[in-house]
Amino acid sequence: MDSTLITTLQYLWGSGEMYSVGCFLILFIITISEPKSLPKTSDKCRALLGDDLINEISSYQNIKEDIFNYVLEGEFKSKTYDELEKFVDKFGSRMSGSQVLEDSIDYMIKLTQDEDLNDIVTEELEVPHWVREQEKITMLEPRSKNIAVLGLGRSISTPPEGVTSDVVVFSSFEEFDNAPIEDVEGKIVLFNAIYTTYGETASYRTQGAARAAEKGAVASLVRSITPFSINSPHTGSQYYSENVTKIPTAAITLEDADLINRFYNRGEKVVLNIKMQSSFETKTSRNTLIDLKGTKNPEKLVIVSGHIDSWDVGQGAMDDGGGLFVSWAAPIILKRLNLRPKRTVRAIFWTAEELGLIGASAYAEKHKNESHNINFIMESDEGTFAPRGLSMAGTQEARCIIAEILKLFESINASTLVETDSPGSDITVIVQEGVPGASLHNANENYFWFHHTEGDTMNVENPEELDLCTAFWTAVAYIIADISVDIPR
């Protein structure tokens, strides 16, 4: 991150207000740096690490193989998939603040206790609870048509009769900024930005309503943030700005966005009626912490994590049930194999990620005086498809250590180290304080086809790939937690 962004984040973090979390997420999404691959071997890394440490890391090959054999061929084969399947089928979507989410947290605690792992702590916090109710968009002109829609998180409601107005279409914020206020005032704004990357395009979802309201729009719509669609709208969070009128906002499908755009480009008047009803309040939820205590330095932590909440569509199998369960499995597998590393392996199930990294922000605040004990933090929140390595933030020496560890996984094509300032979502609030961390880098080319839609179900998960992720996640966590050196900052 550049110094200006870091200063901004520090200011927002210090304010302690819910609004700051939303702003932080906007900044996080917008500023994800383009990844670049670290050379697999380099003279620089050899000079930084030395032969003794390189040889020590390579000596974990047999333990890594033991973990893989246990997960891929032994008693744990398909267990991650089976447990995930039972979980998402039982609970379905797990919206922040819902009773279903709290019941799912209790279920995960019991599932862990059944494995005779009882070092479990929950930490309460206040979370947003936004409930989607009626949602309907009807095209009135130039022809009658129902428009598929999903309201965006925290959207306000329309009046009972809805909002009816002409539509104006913009392909970019630049085009919108150049439009005179009178072209926007009193209209429904559609941002029809073509998907490039999630980091770039999601800003239209997160900021669209606030930007449109600044010029007097009565509602805003966004082309769903996805490269592919079968008429499926994608929901997600959006954030209202202070001192700007809040307007209803929703996502529509690629197909409907392009249809409206074609009418608009031909000079035909497009009139929509938008009816949206929702409620918003604050509820109590919990982060869940599960520890496999270290044998030598139990106060030092290697954290594996995923978020347990999901959007209210689909089953939340991919986002983030898979990440939740590979992180649950890591301490379970190590306990079963009697592999006790020197440092503590802590699994965290973040709550309320989808509505603004609420759980992670609360954890960072509660444990801010202990962050020096976080040796390394990991998160899986972009799919659990075939593992390819890690996306990591940290010093050059830290990256060299992780790159050396990843060499042990060349046989499954998971030795890639990708450099990024912002790995993961939840863990960014901790990594930006200087803690080294990484997210799972996996073959998730189709992840955003299903992201935040009704299509996020068990059908997108693969048992063999989930086993590979589980074995990889567990082995990496163990090696980092057991090697003789801390990951440097």
Percentage of the chain beyond pLDDT 90 is 91
Q: pLDDT, tens digit, for every residue of 19-64? A: 334 443 433 333 333 444 444 558 899 999 999 999 999 999 999 9
Task: Round the CA-based radius of gyration of the chain to a whole number and report it.
Answer: 23
d(CA 144, CA 128): 36
Instruction: Tell me the one-letter amino acid at 186.
Output: G
d(CA 389, CA 410): 9
Which residues touch 299 (CB under 8 Å, ≥6 apart)?
344, 373
Mean pLDDT of 213-223: 98
Q: Crossing angle, helix 463-482 and helix 79-91, to 10 degrees?
A: 110
Which residues touch 301 (CB under 8 Å, ≥6 apart)?
343, 344, 345, 346, 373, 374, 375, 377
Residue linked to tokens 């429904």 = 188
Confidence of residue 173 (pLDDT cuts 50, 70, 90): very high
Token pair for residue 392? 């990591």
pLDDT of residue 22: 44
Q: pLDDT, tens digit, for every residue of 291-348? A: 999 999 999 999 999 999 999 999 999 999 999 999 999 999 999 999 999 999 999 9
Mean residue pLDDT of the chain comes to 93
d(CA 222, CA 234): 10
Mean pLDDT of 240-269: 97
Q: pLDDT, tens digit, for every residue of 107-149? A: 999 999 999 999 999 999 999 999 999 999 999 999 999 999 9
d(CA 20, CA 13): 7
Active site residue ranges: 353
Which burial class, exposed, middle or buried, applies to 40 when counting CB atoms under 10 A from its CB (0-12, 13-18, 19+)?
middle
This prediction has a pTM of: 0.91
d(CA 191, CA 224): 10
Q: Which of 267, 180, 264, 178 is nearest to 221 (CA)?
A: 264
